């Protein structure tokens, strides 16, 4: 009995060593193949390995602008992309409040503590349509000094001329029109501003 148990243990160890060896061979081969590619091809290969389901598209979008009130005296502009179905519930609110409303619409736990006392009964609001862009509230913060290229100068000028406190809450009067790149994976969306096309004039 002891001998049989010992042999079984030895067989299991041999099998595990073979699995490890095979894994190392495949990993080495993958790295070798990546190094044999050119720069652009390597980037594409890495992207394929890391996010095989990611899709990108370019489109025009209306983005909200807010003062993020950064710590340590830093200065920046927050650009926010809000799904159209929730925009009307976010007007007059901060980015954080809007993001909470957005989360509570999407979550299955609509009775969570954070979803109470929002001024909006998110439990009664329908889920977003499957083709909505973006699928959640997204934001980017641009720090000063800002490059004026790609229309970002328009964004900086609008922010600088805005009356104090006017960008503390989301408003239809504080929006820009921009060309954006939407990156969509299986479980999330991200975006980049490619060009600011239009900003409000003060």
Residues forming a β-bridge with 183: 56, 190
**The overall pTM is greater than 0.85:** no
State mean pLDDT over 92-102. 97
Low-confidence winner among 46-50, 63-67, 145-149, 167-171 (lowest mean pLDDT): 46-50
Report yes or no: 59 and 132 within 8 Å, Cβ to Cβ.
Answer: no
Q: Residue 64's pLDDT is what?
A: 98
pLDDT at 7 over 80: no
Q: Residue 53's pLDDT is what?
A: 75
* Summary mean pLDDT of the chain: 82
State mean pLDDT over 159-165. 95
CA distance 67 to 159: 8
Q: Residue 54's pLDDT is what?
A: 85
- Strand runs (DSSP E) across the chain, as ranges? 55-66, 76-81, 138-143, 175-184, 189-198
Q: Where are the domains of the chain?
A: 2-50, 55-198
Q: DSSP code of 187?
A: S
Residue 201: which pLDDT band, with cuts at 50, 70 and 90?
confident
Q: How deeply is 81 buried, as exposed, middle or buried, from its count of CB atoms within 10 A (0-12, 13-18, 19+)?
A: buried
Contacts of residue 101, Cβ cutoff 8 Å, sequence gap at least 6: 86, 89, 90, 93, 118, 120, 122
Low-confidence winner among 8-17, 22-31, 82-91 (lowest mean pLDDT): 22-31
State mean pLDDT over 101-116. 93
pLDDT at 151 over 80: yes
Contacts of residue 74, Cβ cutoff 8 Å, sequence gap at least 6: 143
CA distance 60 to 178: 6
Contacts of residue 44, Cβ cutoff 8 Å, sequence gap at least 6: none
Tens digit of pLDDT for each residue in 47-90?
444 555 789 999 999 999 999 999 988 999 999 999 999 999 99
């Amino acid at each position: 009995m002891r001998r049989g148990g010992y042999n079984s243990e030895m067989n299991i160890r041999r099998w595990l060593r073979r699995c490890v060896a095979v894994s190392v061979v495949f990993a080495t081969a993958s790295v070798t193949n990546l190094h044999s590619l050119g720069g652009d091809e390597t980037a594409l290969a890495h992207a394929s390995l890391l996010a095989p389901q990611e899709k990108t598209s370019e489109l025009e979008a209306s983005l909200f602008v807010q003062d993020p009130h950064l710590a340590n005296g830093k200065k920046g502009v927050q650009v926010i992309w809000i799904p159209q179905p929730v925009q009307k519930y976010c007007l007059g609110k901060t980015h954080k409040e809007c993001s909470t409303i957005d989360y509570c619409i999407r979550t299955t736990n609509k009775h969570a503590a954070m979803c109470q006392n929002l001024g909006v009964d998110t439990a009664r609001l329908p889920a977003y349509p499957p083709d909505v862009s973006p699928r959640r509230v997204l934001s980017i913060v641009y720090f000063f000094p800002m490059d004026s290229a790609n229309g970002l100068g328009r964004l900086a000028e609008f922010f600088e001329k805005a009356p104090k406190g006017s960008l503390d809450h989301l408003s239809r009067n504080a929006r820009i029109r921009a060309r954006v790149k939407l990156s969509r994976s299986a479980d999330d969306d991200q975006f980049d501003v490619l060009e600011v096309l239009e900003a409000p004039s003060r």
